[in-house]
Structures are given as structure tokens and as C-alpha cells.
């Protein structure tokens, strides 16, 4: 009997030991113990092992059932206390933190030595959930001290992991990385692969919290592979990915991840994490300007946090509710009081970021309510953040200082503060290697740049308006992305995505279901995004030029920089070494006219010529033209134009407007980018001509272009592959690609040109070490861009200009293949004869449109010269 009992105790302990390494095996061992007729303590230990293993597998209801049974079955005080300790841990996970704290606190007096250390650590977890962070750190530290005294490496690793994670969330840098690294090393030494992976994931959280986005992404990507190998779900980690996405911010993806977290965590009954997912959904919705969703989700989260006894989290949710109310236009003393109180609560309980945002908006609200002294008080407290913390918080601190100085009537000092804040964000941007991250990070500079722009507009100073407009416009293109051209993982993933995309298209065209292929495509795209984003940044960004530098380079050309100022569209015009500022029209009106203009031209191209279609397109073009150019017309004369658009105007087919018809027009994301491109030397490599499949006109176009450019390298048929073409781009003076094109609005870096072996993605052009000088894309929508805050652009245009290509001629509308060939031949003949690309395109468009009907004119107008034509 004694031998059987000893064997049962050993087996029950073996089940407990296997929980974090092999949770499913732990359940199987424990069930064998229960079937063997062992004593009460052994049965309790086996039930405890099952409960903890189910927790690892995210089955919280099942875990709680078995842990309660473990408490009931225990025959001795120590075993009962251990079961209560584990029950408290899972109750905290389920959001029942008050019951959890009672359970763990009741267990503590019954435990000694290493057991007491484990109970201390578990109570630290519960206190962590309840937002009592200082007490949690104290218990974690006591647990580490006990573990070291008792020689319990596992306990020390767990407590260090928890303390490191808590300090990472609190933004406390001292010892965080050391705790997490030592925890991971200890778990590895003990053979606890899952726990080691969790600790390394927490290291990614710490990296993200201190602003090392690329480092965090590298760690997350590596640990994701470990989780897949271990086949253990970790749905709560969606929340960590969400935080990283929001820190860039990648708003669209953050919304998707938050929605997935809400769905998955609700399904699994993980009440504590589910409440956090609702809060994440609210925060993402607020950034996406979906205030109704933000208010509803934040309210639901707040109710759950209060039920769970998590007052600090409830204050965070209240912060989002109040911000949504403010965004809706609420302006009242009651709202001001609530925002101020919530900011104080957040500050006191370890949420400095939300506290700062709430306090700034409370300051703005106080000013709107005619209480400038109260506004200055609130903003003065917020301004302290400029001295420490992450880049976005320091920038917000400078913003708060600038707002306070404007309230005091000192616009000059406010301008200096705004510049300091933008400089902080500039330095942060250079740490982001990927074009996509740099483009999306523009959201954090919007408020500062808009405030500086407002100062300059109100002063009526065109040079200052230009400086502020350039200060935060298309900054992602100021420095070349740091993506290494020889990243083997990325090359492999892109090749696999090309294959899957081709198979998917075949299935869709055949009318067969393709759910598995769509899922595989989605997973590959996420993999590629992670690989491209985790590259470290570096280098120095270009400094925005002044009026004199631009005027010197422009010569007899004129530059029109469009600027959004509140609800108005304004323009800075530089010509003949002079700058002038002009108020054009309501911004919403010109955005709507742009939409109607594109629709009219698209209808002409795709449905054919009718008198009504021609007249409709001509009418909207004339109206749009008047709004944009009437205030400038006398000064423009017949000069060639460089146009820097804003927002939706990046998609305007400019040559279809009367003022631009027949005139050399170059479109640039910013004056800084245009100047850099115009100064760039043209490469001297041989021209490259390529034709994609399923487009007979493309092959005819390339063969005829080869007669104009006899020295060109040709890629047609099976030779026109993605690898061959990207290799040929390196150092080419001119590249012309005729192929089917697809613009991806959801992620413009996945926009494609169809080649023999499948789609060539915009991402892939970042692998080119020496960019081609000029590129012509005779493909539908190839010049369209995704526009992000700060007029950052994504797509083929962004990639090429960031690489260093001088000029891109591409389409902003669908174009029919056959008529395009004549236009392209004329364009290349003119460039071959020495005409600059913008001039050659304008003359070719005029000749082509004059000879054709409405659809031909619309086809010609679809082509735009980007960069420095």
C-alpha cells in the first residue's frame, strides 16, 4: 500500500511538472492518477494539474471546475492551500479578482518555504490584475528572494518573468530586460519550452514599450514560430500585437486584431482578457474616427472592469469614453470635470500615456469653455512629459507646451516648441526601417504640424506655411528604407505568396471554392508584413528646403504646394524666386469634385464614348480646375508645373484639367522629395522592357518599343519573371513594364504587376540596391497610392521614390491595353529625342487626345508623371 501511495504521489507531481511543458500530456497523466484509486491529497494534486493545464490551453471554465474540486478533495492544510493558490490565479484570469485575492490570501498562512514563495508570486499576479502595481512588485520581489534562498529556479524564473512584464507595462526600464532574459534562460535550463517562449514574448512587449518597434517585431515573429511548434494557443497575445500596431500606429490592422481578440477571448470565456480586448477595440475605433464604436466598446469594458474589481482599468476605459464624447463635439463643464478627474486617476495608477492625452484634451476643452487660466494649468502639467518617456509622449508634451504658449499669445515660442516636438518624432521615425512603418507613423505628428501651420497661415507668411507643410509631409520618403536586398526569409515568403496568388486566381476564374488558399494567402501576407517591418532603421532624413533652394532649382517652372488648413484648401505658389499664399476653396468641395472627376473619366474609359459622358467629364473637370487654379492663374502664366497634392488629390488625372492640358506637370509627394529627385543623377544602365502575360497588346507594345530603344533588354513570355525583372532594374536608366496591374487599397505595398510567374509586389522593389532612373508602368492603377496621415503615401510610387528613382510615369485610372500602345510609343520617342519625361508626356497626351475621341483622351489623361519629371 505504501508503495502504491508513493507511486501515486510521484505520478501526480509528474502531471503538475508537465503542465507548462506539455499541458495535454499533463492532463493524461493526471487522469491516470485519478483512475488509480489514490488518496485525497494525490487526487487533489491531480485535479490541480488538470486545472492548470486547461488554463494553459485557455479553457478557463474547465480549469475552475477542476481547481475547485482540488480544494474540496485536499486531505491536508498544505495541499488545500496549494489548490487555493492555483484557484486564485485562474480566478484572476477569469476576471474575478476579488475572489482570487481572497483565495490566495487564505492560502498564504498555511504555506512555508518555497510554497510560500509560490503563493507570494500568485498574489502578485492577482494584485497585478487589480492594478495595485507597487504591491504586486513587492510580492514578486519577495517570491524571488524566497526562491533564491530555497534554490527553487522555477519559482525564481516565474516571479522574474512576472515582475519584468509588469515593469515593462509600467514603462520602468531598470532591470526589466534582465528579469525577462534571466527568466527565459532559467525556463530553457529547466526544459520548459512554453514558459521560455512566454518570457521571450514578454521581451518583445518590453521592446515595444520603449519604442523599439523593429526589435519587438523581430521577437514576436521568432516566438510565433515557437508557439506554432508547441501547438499551444495563445489568444491573449493578440492584445500584445494590438499594442504594437497601435504604437506605430497601423490603425487598420489594429482594428482587425482588436476585433479578432474580442471574438476569440469571448468564445474562450477569458473574462479578464476579454474586457481588455473590448478596451483595445474602443481605442482602435477612436483612432479610426469611429466614435460610436469607441464609446460603446469602452463603456462595455468599463462595466466589466468594475465587476472584476479592476479600478485602474475602469479608469482607462472611462478615458476612452470621455475622449469619444469630446470628439462628438460635447463641450461642457461636466465633461471637463470628468476628464480632469480621470487624468488624475490614470496618472496615479500607472497609465501616463492615457493621462497625458486626456489632460491635453481637457486643456483644449477648458479653452473652448472660456477658461484660459484652467487650460494653462492643465497644459502645464501635460507639458512635463516632454522631458522623458517614449517619443510620442515627449512630442505630446511639447504640443501641450505650444498650446499653452499660444493661449498666452506667444506664437513664436509656440512654434519653437512644436519644432522640438517634431524633431523628437523625426528621430523616432529614423528608427523604423520599413517604408510602411514610416508612412503610418505620420499620425503622431499631425497635431503638431497642424498647429504650426495654423500659426503660419494666420501670420500670412507663405514661406512659413511651406516650411510647416513640408515639416510633416511625406517624411517617410525622406530616407531610403532599410530593407536588406538579400533577406532569404522574405524572398522565400514572397515567392510562396506569388505561387499561392496564382493558384487562387485560377480557382476563382474556374468558379471553384478557394477558402484554404485565401487563408494561406492571408497568413503569408501577415508573414511578409512582419518580415519587412522588423528591419531596424537608420540614416539621416532629408532636411526640408526653403523657398530660395526650391526657386533656384525650379528655374522657369512653378511649384504649387496644396495645403489643408482646417476645412479650407490653400496653396503656396513658388515662381520667379517668390512665394505667395492663396486661399482656394473648401477642402470637402474639392475632394468631392475629385471623386466625381475620376468617376466620369473611368466611365469614359470603360463604357465607351457618349455625348453625355463627354459633357459630364468636361463639366466636372472645368469646375475642379476653377477651384484649384483660378486664384493662381495670373501668376502661373504658361510655366511648367510641379504640384504637391494633399490627401485624395494624389489621385487626380491632372492633364484632364484645362489648366494642365498640354502643360508639363510633375506630381510629387512633397517639395523635399521633388528637390532630392530632381538633383539625382540619372543611371546609365541599358533600358529594360517587360511584358506581362494574358495581355497580347503588351507584347506588341514592347516589341515596337524595342525598335525605338534597340539597346534595351527585353523580358517577354516565360523570361518576364519577378526575379529576372527585379535583377534587371538594378542600375537601369529606363524601365518600361506593360502588364496587368492591381492596386490594393487595404495594403498598397501588396499592389501588383502580373508577370509570367505570378504577381510582382510593390514590396519586392525595395530589394533593388541601385534604383532605375525613370520607370514607365503601362498598367491599370499603377500610380495610385494609399494616403496615410501626414500625406504619407504607399504603393509603387512610394517605393520607387524612396529608393531613389527620379521619375515614374504611371496611371491613376484603368486603361485599355490597345489604345495605350500608341501613346507609349509617342512618349518614348519624345524622351529618346531629349525631352524631359513630364514634357514628353504632356506633348504625347495632347497629340493622342487631339487625334482620338473621349475614351482616348481619358486614357491619355490617366497617365501622370511622378517624382521629378
Q: Vertex 158, ends 152 and 159: CA angle to 5°?
A: 90
The CA distance from 794 to 787, in Å, is: 7
Find out whether 780 and 741 touch, Cβ atoms under 8 Å.
yes
CA dist 412 to 360, 402, 409, 417, 419, Å? 20, 9, 9, 9, 11
The CA distance from 570 to 574, in Å, is: 13
The CA distance from 427 to 568, in Å, is: 31
**pLDDT band, very low/low/confident/very high, at 5 (cuts 50, 70, 90):** very low
Dihedrals φ, ψ of 734, to 5°? -145, 140
Task: Identify the pLDDT of residue 705.
Answer: 94
Closest C-alpha among 652, 807, 784 to residue 733 = 807
**pLDDT band, very low/low/confident/very high, at 2 (cuts 50, 70, 90):** very low
Once rounded to an integer, what is the mean pLDDT over residues 155-181?
84
pTM: 0.75
Task: Identify the pLDDT of residue 704.
Answer: 93
Closest C-alpha among 286, 348, 279, 361 to residue 316 = 279
Whole-number percent of the chain with pLDDT over 70: 91
The CA distance from 599 to 486, in Å, is: 42
3-state secondary structure 117-181: HHHHHHHHHHHHHCCCHHHHHHHHHHHHHHHHHHCCHHHHHHHHHHHHHHHHHHCCCCCHHHHHH
Q: SS3 for 564?
A: strand
Find out whether 421 and 386 touch, Cβ atoms under 8 Å.
yes
Q: What confidence tens digit (pLDDT) does each residue in 122-160 have?
A: 899 888 878 788 899 999 999 999 999 999 999 999 999
Task: Identify the pLDDT of residue 287.
Answer: 85
Q: Which residue has the cell 471553384?
A: 512
- Beta bridge pairs of residue 562: 571
Once rounded to an integer, what is the mean pLDDT over residues 358-372?
94
The CA distance from 675 to 663, in Å, is: 20
Q: Vertex 64, ends 59 and 66: CA angle to 5°?
A: 100
**pLDDT band, very low/low/confident/very high, at 791 (cuts 50, 70, 90):** low
Once rounded to an integer, what is the mean pLDDT over residues 748-775?
84
Output the nine-digit C-alpha cell for 194. Answer: 512554453
CA dist 153 to 147, 362, 653, Å? 7, 49, 67
Cis ω for the linkage preceding 3 (within 30 of 0): no
Instruction: List Cβ<8 Å contacts ≥24 apart for 463-468.
Output: 463/546, 463/547, 463/579, 465/563, 465/570, 465/572, 465/581, 466/546, 466/547, 466/561, 466/572, 466/574, 466/579, 466/671, 467/544, 467/546
Is the pLDDT at 345 greater than 60? The verdict is yes
Task: Identify the pLDDT of residue 459.
Answer: 94
The CA distance from 614 to 854, in Å, is: 6
Find out whether 374 and 364 touch, Cβ atoms under 8 Å.
no
Whole-number percent of the chain with pLDDT over 90: 45
Q: What confidence tens digit (pLDDT) does each residue in 706-734 have?
A: 999 999 999 999 999 988 998 898 899 99
Burial 245-268 (b: 16+ CB within 10 A, else e): bbbbbbbbbbbebbbbbbebbeeb
Q: What confidence tens digit (pLDDT) does each residue in 620-666 have?
A: 999 999 999 999 999 999 999 999 999 889 889 999 999 999 999 99
Amino acid at each position: 500500500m505504501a508503495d502504491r501511495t508513493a507511486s501515486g504521489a510521484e505520478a501526480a507531481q509528474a502531471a503538475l511538472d508537465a503542465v507548462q511543458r506539455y499541458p495535454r500530456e499533463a492532463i493524461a497523466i493526471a487522469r491516470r492518477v485519478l483512475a488509480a484509486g489514490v488518496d485525497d491529497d494525490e487526487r487533489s494534486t491531480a485535479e490541480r494539474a488538470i486545472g492548470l493545464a486547461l488554463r494553459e490551453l485557455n479553457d478557463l471554465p474547465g480549469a475552475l471546475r477542476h481547481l475547485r474540486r482540488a480544494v474540496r478533495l485536499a486531505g491536508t492544510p498544505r495541499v488545500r492551500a496549494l489548490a487555493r493558490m492555483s484557484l486564485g490565479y485562474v480566478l484572476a484570469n477569469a476576471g474575478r479578482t476579488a475572489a482570487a485575492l481572497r483565495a490566495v490570501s487564505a492560502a498564504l498562512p498555511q504555506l512555508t518555504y518555497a510554497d510560500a514563495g509560490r503563493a507570494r508570486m500568485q498574489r502578485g499576479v492577482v494584485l497585478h490584475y487589480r492594478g495595485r502595481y507597487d504591491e504586486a512588485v513587492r510580492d514578486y520581489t519577495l517570491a524571488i528572494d524566497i526562491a533564491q534562498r530555497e534554490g527553487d529556479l522555477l519559482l525564481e524564473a516565474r516571479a522574474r518573468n512576472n515582475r519584468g512584464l509588469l515593469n515593462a507595462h509600467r514603462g520602468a526600464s531598470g532591470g526589466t530586460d534582465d528579469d525577462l532574459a534571466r527568466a527565459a534562460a532559467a525556463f530553457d535550463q529547466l526544459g520548459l519550452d512554453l514558459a521560455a517562449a512566454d518570457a521571450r514574448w514578454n521581451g518583445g512587449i518590453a521592446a515595444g514599450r520603449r519604442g523599439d518597434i523593429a526589435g519587438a517585431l523581430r521577437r514576436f515573429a521568432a516566438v510565433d514560430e515557437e508557439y506554432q511548434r508547441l501547438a499551444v494557443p495563445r489568444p491573449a497575445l493578440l492584445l500584445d500585437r494590438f499594442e504594437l500596431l497601435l504604437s506605430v500606429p497601423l490603425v487598420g490592422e489594429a482594428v482587425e486584431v482588436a476585433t479578432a481578440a474580442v471574438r476569440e477571448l469571448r468564445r474562450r470565456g477569458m473574462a479578464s482578457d476579454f474586457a481588455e480586448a473590448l478596451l483595445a477595440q474602443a481605442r482602435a475605433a477612436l483612432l479610426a474616427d469611429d466614435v460610436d464604436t469607441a464609446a460603446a466598446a469602452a463603456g462595455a469594458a468599463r462595466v466589466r472592469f468594475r465587476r472584476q474589481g479592476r479600478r485602474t482599468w475602469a479608469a482607462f476605459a472611462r478615458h476612452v469614453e470621455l475622449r469619444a464624447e469630446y470628439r462628438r463635439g460635447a463641450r461642457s463643464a461636466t465633461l471637463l470635470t470628468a476628464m480632469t478627474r480621470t487624468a488624475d486617476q490614470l496618472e496615479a495608477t500607472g497609465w501616463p500615456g492615457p493621462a497625458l492625452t486626456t489632460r491635453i484634451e481637457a486643456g483644449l476643452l477648458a479653452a473652448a469653455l472660456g477658461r484660459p487660466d484652467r487650460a494653462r494649468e492643465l497644459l502645464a502639467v501635460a507639458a512635463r512629459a516632454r522631458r522623458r518617456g517614449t517619443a510620442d509622449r515627449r512630442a505630446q508634451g511639447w504640443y501641450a507646451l505650444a498650446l499653452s504658449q499660444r493661449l498666452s499669445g506667444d506664437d513664436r515660442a509656440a512654434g519653437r516648441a512644436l519644432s522640438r516636438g517634431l524633431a523628437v518624432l523625426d528621430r523616432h521615425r529614423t528608427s523604423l526601417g520599413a517604408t510602411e512603418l514610416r508612412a503610418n507613423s505620420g499620425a503622431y505628428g499631425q497635431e503638431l504640424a497642424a498647429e504650426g501651420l495654423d500659426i503660419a497661415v494666420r501670420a500670412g507668411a507663405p514661406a512659413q506655411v511651406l516650411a510647416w507643410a513640408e515639416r510633416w509631409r511625406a517624411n517617410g520618403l525622406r530616407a531610403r528604407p532599410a530593407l536588406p536586398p538579400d533577406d532569404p526569409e522574405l524572398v522565400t515568403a514572397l515567392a510562396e505568396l506569388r505561387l499561392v496568388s496564382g493558384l487562387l486566381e485560377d480557382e476563382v476564374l474556374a468558379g471553384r471554392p478557394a477558402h484554404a488558399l485565401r487563408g494561406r494567402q492571408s497568413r503569408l501576407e501577415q508573414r511578409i508584413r512582419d518580415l519587412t517591418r522588423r528591419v531596424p532603421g537608420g540614416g539621416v532624413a532629408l532636411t526640408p528646403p526653403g523657398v530660395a533652394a526650391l526657386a533656384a532649382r525650379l528655374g522657369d517652372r512653378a511649384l504649387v504646394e496644396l495645403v489643408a488648413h482646417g476645412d479650407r484648401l490653400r496653396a503656396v505658389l513658388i515662381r520667379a524666386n517668390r512665394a505667395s499664399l492663396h486661399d482656394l476653396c473648401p477642402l470637402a468641395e474639392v475632394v468631392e469634385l475629385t471623386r466625381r472627376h475620376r468617376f466620369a473619366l473611368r466611365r469614359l474609359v470603360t463604357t465607351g464614348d457618349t455625348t453625355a459622358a463627354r459633357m459630364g467629364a468636361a463639366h466636372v473637370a472645368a469646375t475642379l480646375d476653377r477651384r484649384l487654379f483660378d486664384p493662381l492663374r495670373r501668376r502661373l502664366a504658361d510655366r511648367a508645373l510641379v504640384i504637391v497634392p494633399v490627401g485624395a488629390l494624389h489621385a487626380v488625372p491632372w492633364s484632364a484639367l484645362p489648366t494642365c492640358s498640354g502643360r508639363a506637370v510633375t506630381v510629387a509627394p512633397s517639395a523635399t522629395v521633388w528637390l532630392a529627385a530632381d538633383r539625382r543623377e540619372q543611371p546609365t544602365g541599358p533600358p529594360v522592357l517587360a511584358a506581362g502575360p494574358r495581355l497580347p497588346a503588351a507584347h506588341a507594345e514592347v516589341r515596337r518599343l524595342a525598335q525605338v530603344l534597340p539597346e534595351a533588354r527585353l523580358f517577354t513570355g516565360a523570361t518576364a519573371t519577378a526575379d529576372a525583372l527585379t535583377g534587371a532594374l538594378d542600375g537601369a536608366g529606363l524601365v518600361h513594364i506593360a502588364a496587368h496591374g492591381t492596386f490594393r487599397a487595404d495594403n498598397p505595398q501588396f499592389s501588383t504587376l502580373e508577370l509570367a510567374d505570378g504577381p510582382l509586389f510593390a514590396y519586392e522593389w525595395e530589394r533593388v540596391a541601385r534604383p532605375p532612373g525613370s520607370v514607365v508602368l503601362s498598367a491599370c492603377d499603377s500610380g495610385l497610392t494609399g494616403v496615410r496621415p501626414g500625406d504619407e503615401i504607399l504603393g509603387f510610387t512610394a517605393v520607387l521614390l524612396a529608393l531613389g528613382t527620379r521619375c515614374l510615369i504611371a496611371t491613376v485610372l484603368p486603361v485599355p491595353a490597345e489604345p495605350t500602345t500608341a501613346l507609349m510609343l509617342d512618349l518614348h520617342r519624345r524622351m529618346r529625342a531629349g525631352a524631359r519625361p513630364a514634357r514628353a508626356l504632356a506633348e504625347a497626351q495632347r497629340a493622342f487626345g487631339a487625334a482620338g475621341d473621349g475614351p482616348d483622351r481619358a486614357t491619355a489623361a490617366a497617365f501622370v508623371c511622378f517624382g521629378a519629371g
